[in-house]
Structure 1
Amino acid sequence: MDNNYKGMAVGVFELDNLVACFVALDAASKAANVRIQSVERNRLKSGACVKMRGSVSDVNAAMEVALEAAKPLGKVVSHTVIASPSEDTEIALKMTINK
């Protein structure tokens, strides 16, 4: 996978259920031109955090669809879109948390 996301917006959502995360990221990737950067398990019982990249409009559209798809399957813990991540933020976004 190409890890060059320079100039791309980032959308991040966290759900309390890993299955809901996969359903949501599938819906997001079908709804808009986004690339899934990573899926990381969170410290909740069985949840995960998904990072997706693309243009601001594509990430916003994908986020909306992802959260709607996740609603029947799990709880949305948090979500955000960063239109233009700083270089320091990009470094942090590349880190993977394995817990």
Structure 2
Amino acid sequence: MSNSISEEDLLEHEARREQLASESLSLCDSFNKFSDECSFLCDALAAVVREPECITPETSEGIWYVNYKLKMQIRSYRDQIDEIHNGLRELKLKL
């Protein structure tokens, strides 16, 4: 019984590792942009709260909508991170 890994398995492993690395870099770039947008929105929301008289029903609805979209994007990032993490874990177990 041989414990060596076939060349085909090594090539498959390397291709999957490169795919996960690419996905990770893309996710990091996307998250960096998202982080900048969140910083801007936090500043904007803080400014609105300092002037409570400017919070109209439309403003309140807009704030709710933005918060909902942020929550959904954060969940998406979490899911993408989990997928990459699980892929790396599988690679580690196979090797």
The TM-score normalised by the length of structure 2 is 0.26
| Structure with larger Rg | 2
Larger strand fraction of residues = 1
Considering Cα pairs closer than 8 Å and 6+ residues apart, tell me whether 1 or 2 has the greater RCO: 2
